[in-house]
Amino acid sequence: MHLCLKSRTGILVTFALASAASAFAAESTNRISSQQVSRGKLLYLQHCVICHQASGQGAAGTFPPLAKSDFLMADKERSIRALVEGLSGPITVNGRNYDGAMPPVVLNDAQVADVLTFVRTTFGNNGDAVTVAEAKQVRSTSRFRTYEALLKASAYPPLPKAPPGFSVREVARLPAHGTRLATEPNALLVLGERGDIWRVEPKNGQITQLLPGNSYCAPNRAHLG
């Protein structure tokens, strides 16, 4: 009887410790660390700030806000998918309608987790962390099932060879395909395929959207040739 009691107690104690350890592990995987938030902030400044702005307020009618965003915080999987696959079509954010397109962002799983953790815990948002495992799982069901597949699909072709007496250099990478080009003093004006008009400063590569296509194009006019 004594040996049996020890055995049963040992099983119970082991089970209790294992359960506690599992619960702690599950909780700690989504724990927010200052290091992850710092990495995410840097990625945000590199990849997101042009459209969504430094304070996450976006641009009215063009780029939806990330600050206190009900759309962002309502569905973690959807926000991950927007980064790894892109997002297009009508959405409603904080009561306002948007109908644009965001291409996938060329980030690996760890970077996706970092930048989304930053956004979900900043700009008035109060969410938990995004893990690398969550980013990887959502990506595996997306249009680009691996980071390598996205990287290959997003690769820019090499620059053409410059004519004699000229040189060619990369100035900027627009978030949309350009169809028309015009010049003004110290800048280029680019018409995108959805009607967006961008201003590009060749000196520093700064890109500014001057006019969104959906503010003057008919909704069914998807491309401008």
pLDDT at site 75: 97
Structure letter (DSSP) for residue 24: H
Residue 7 domain-assigned?
Answer: no
| Residue 70 domain-assigned (yes or no) | yes
Q: 8 lies in a domain?
A: no
pTM (two decimals): 0.66
> Is 187 within a domain?
yes
Is residue 43 one of the residues assigned to a domain? yes
Note down the domain range covering 79: 34-153
For residue 62, tell me if it sits in a domain: yes
For 58-82, what is each residue's pLDDT tens digit? 988 888 999 999 999 999 999 999 9
Q: Which amino acid is at 177?
A: H
Residue closest to 119 by CA, chosen among 83, 67, 162: 67
Amino acid in position 183: T
Q: Which residue has the tokens 């060879």?
A: 161
Q: Assess whether 134 and 196 both reside in one domain.
A: no
Nearest CA among 171, 154, 10, 180 for reference residue 84: 154
pLDDT of residue 5: 37
Mean pLDDT is lowest, of 20-24, 35-39, 99-103, 182-186, for: 20-24
Domain boundary among 105, 138, 153: 153
SS3 breakdown of the chain: % helix, strand, coil, rounded to 5? 40, 20, 40
Q: Is residue 23 part of a domain?
A: no
Structure-model confidence comparison of residues 124 and 155, the more confident one:
124
Q: How far is CA 7 from CA 1, 2, 4, 16, 17, in A?
A: 10, 9, 5, 14, 15
Q: How far is CA 64 from the centre of its chain?
A: 13
Which residue from 10, 59, 37, 71 is spatially nearest to 198, judged by alpha carbons?
Answer: 59
Are residue 49 and residue 149 in the same domain, yes or no?
yes
| pLDDT number for residue 219 | 55
Considering only CA atoms, which of 126, 29, 130 is closest in space to residue 79?
130
Evaluate whether residue 162 is within a structural domain: no
Cα angle for residues 191, 201, 223 (degrees, 5° grid)? 10
**pLDDT tens sequence across 168-213:** 988 887 777 788 999 999 999 999 877 888 889 888 888 887 887 7
State the Rg of the chain over Cα. Answer: 23
Decide if pLDDT at 222 tops 80: no
Statement to judge: residues 38 and 131 lie in one domain: yes
Same structural domain for residues 123 and 200?
no
CA angle 118, 144, 33 (to 5 degrees): 20
- Quote the number of domains for the chain: 2
